[in-house]
Structures are given as C-alpha cells and as structure tokens.
C-alpha cells in the first residue's frame, strides 16, 4: 500500500478556478495521504498560480509546475476542434519519472478516499479506468466490442508500461492518421490501441452519468450493486458534457458540491458565468447591434 499519491492535472489558465475546486475537494477528503501533484500547462500567470498554492498549502502536498513549450506540438493536428491541451496527458511518460500516476480532468470533484483506487495492481495493464456507457463506435474505430471503451478523464496510468511500449508515440501517430473519424482524440486513440488491456474500475471512481429513476435499467452494464454504490457514495464526480455546474442553468444533481468546495478556495466570491458582468452585457446587446459593431471593427482594421 502506498500513502504518497502521484497525481497529474493538465489544464490551461481558463480552468484554474475549477482546478482549485477539484484540488480542495481532493485534499479535504484525503487528509491521511500525501500528494505530489504535477500540473501540466502552457503557462499560468504568477498571481493565478499563487492561488493554487494557497489551496494546497495546508495539506501534505507538493506541486510541480510543468510548463509545456509550443515546440512539442509542431506538426500535430491543432484546429478549433483539436487544441494542444488534448495532448497533455500523452506527455506524462516523457515528463514524469514515476512508475504510475493518477490523471484527473479538472472538471471533477473528489467526494471520498482515492487510496483504494491508487493502490490498484496495474502491472499487466496500461491503465485503470471506468467504462464509458455511451460508446457505440466500435466498428468505426476498429475496437473489439469485448474490449469495451473507457473514459480517459480519470485514469490510473502505468507510466512504466507506456514508456516501455512507446505508447505515447503510437497514440499521437494514430491521431494524425485518423483525425477524420475520431471524436475524442486521445481517448479514441488509447482505446483503439490498447484493445482491452485496461483494468476496469467501479463507476463510483468516475461518475459521468446522471443516475435518475430508471438508472438500473439504463446503465445495466455496470450491475445493480455497482450502480447503487455509485449513486449513494460517488468518489469522483466528473462533470462531462457541455453544461457545467458553474453555469446558472446547470441542473447536475451534484452541482452543490462544486460550489461547496469552490467557496473554500481563493475563488470563493465567484458567481455563475452567465451573471458575470461581461457576459451579462453580451446577453442584453441586440444581435443586430453586435453584427454592426463587428462590421465596424473589421472596417476599421482594414
């Protein structure tokens, strides 16, 4: 059993508020553990970075700020759909000299102990992860249905195995060659290449679904006991999809947990995005006036 956790977040400056909520929830609910947190990013302003340090300072936690140069991404597929951030977690074997690490997306809340998750035996697997119940593109991505498909927002990574098999390069090559058919570049590529060589985690460690009244029928691939455990005691809540808990109209059943932990950070006075002054102003300006302003700005730029 290990008490020190190697943890990785990969984000940009726009997501630091949500990262702080995630960190606070993680550290508050795992005070018996020590953490080495690796933050992969393309540059964070000093005053913003100090807010992250304020969150982790009361705990047994070290932070390593890993700033990525744009040189890493020359020649890769980078468009409005594929940003450089999608490749960050693929750099983990190159940047982090550990045998394993737990990668977490920043749009999560940790609601319990991750000790059991981190201490999984992964010697024979590339990752430990939770199955994605919505996936149905097995034939398109040439994935065996028996292999299943995992969500890469919460993955325990066998860094040693990735490094030994050069998986990072294979994934990037796959993305480059198949950009026209993939929806989630690193996730689709990892699943296609690993082909089932991953260890399944209980749903409670990456709850991406909303367990409503008919959840036992709708998500029966998880089994009744696993579903009930996830509903009653989710450990990691992952706010996937376009609607997020920091948005006013979001109705996620665990929305309040996000705001609970955010209020314990330097972002305690934050308000929903729609109520922020600039967004309020945008919402009340008529569309015709927006178009006129845009036209005048273009004309002035010529």
Give the pLDDT of the chain (302 residues) as one tens digit per residue: 467 999 999 998 989 999 999 999 999 999 999 999 999 998 999 999 999 999 999 999 999 999 988 777 666 665 545 567 777 888 899 899 999 999 999 999 999 999 999 999 999 999 999 999 999 999 999 999 999 999 999 999 999 999 999 998 899 889 888 888 888 888 999 999 999 999 999 999 999 999 988 899 999 999 999 999 999 999 999 999 888 999 988 999 999 999 999 999 999 999 877 666 565 566 566 677 657 666 666 655 55
Q: Between β-strands 150-158 and 127-131, what pairing exists: parallel, antiparallel or unpaired?
A: antiparallel
Q: Can you tell me the distance from the alpha carbon of 203 to that of 130, in angstroms, rounded to the nearest whole number?
A: 6
Instruction: Identify the sign of the CA torsion 276, 281, 286, 287.
Output: negative
Number of residues written out for the chain: 302
At 83 the pLDDT is 65
Fold of 4-301: Spore Coat Polysaccharide Biosynthesis Protein SpsA; Chain A (3.90.550)
Output the six-digit token pair for 273.
């995005």
Q: Cβ(122)–Cβ(100) under 8 Å?
A: yes
At 242 the pLDDT is 86
**Other Cβ atoms within 10 Å of 144 Cβ, number:** 10
Bridge partners of residue 128, in order along the sequence: 156, 199
pTM flag (> 0.85): yes
At 29 the pLDDT is 98
């Amino acid at each position: 059993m290990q008490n020190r956790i190697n943890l990785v977040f990969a984000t940009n400056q726009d997501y630091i508020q949500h990262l702080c909520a995630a960190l606070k929830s993680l550290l508050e609910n795992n005070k018996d553990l020590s953490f080495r947190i690796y933050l992969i990013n393309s540059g964070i302003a000093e005053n913003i970075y100090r807010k992250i340090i304020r969150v982790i300072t009361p705990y047994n936690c070290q932070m390593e700020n890993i700033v990525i140069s744009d040189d890493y991404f020359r020649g890769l597929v980078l468009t409005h759909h594929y940003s450089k951030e999608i490749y960050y977690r693929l750099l983990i074997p190159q940047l982090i000299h550990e045998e394993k690490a737990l990668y977490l997306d920043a749009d999560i809340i940790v609601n319990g102990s991750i000790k059991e998750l981190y201490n999984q035996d992964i010697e024979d697997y590339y990752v430990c992860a939770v199955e994605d119940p919505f996936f149905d593109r097995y034939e398109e991505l040439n994935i065996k249905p028996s292999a299943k498909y995992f969500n890469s927002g919460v993955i325990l990574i066998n860094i040693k195995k990735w490094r030994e098999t050069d998986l990072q390069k294979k994934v990037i090559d796959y993305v480059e060659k198949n950009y026209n058919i993939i929806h989630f570049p690193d996730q689709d590529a990892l699943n296609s290449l690993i082909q089932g060589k991953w260890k399944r985690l209980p749903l409670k460690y990456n709850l991406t679904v909303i367990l409503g009244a008919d959840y036992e029928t709708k998500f029966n691939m998880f089994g009744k006991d696993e579903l009930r455990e996830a509903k009653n005691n989710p450990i990691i809540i992952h706010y996937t999809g376009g609607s997020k808990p920091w948005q006013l109209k979001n109705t996620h059943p665990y929305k309040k947990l996000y705001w609970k932990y955010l209020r314990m950070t330097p972002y305690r006075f934050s308000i929903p995005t729609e109520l922020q002054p600039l967004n309020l102003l945008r919402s009340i300006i008529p569309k015709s006036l927006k178009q006129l302003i845009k036209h005048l700005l273009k004309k002035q730029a010529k």
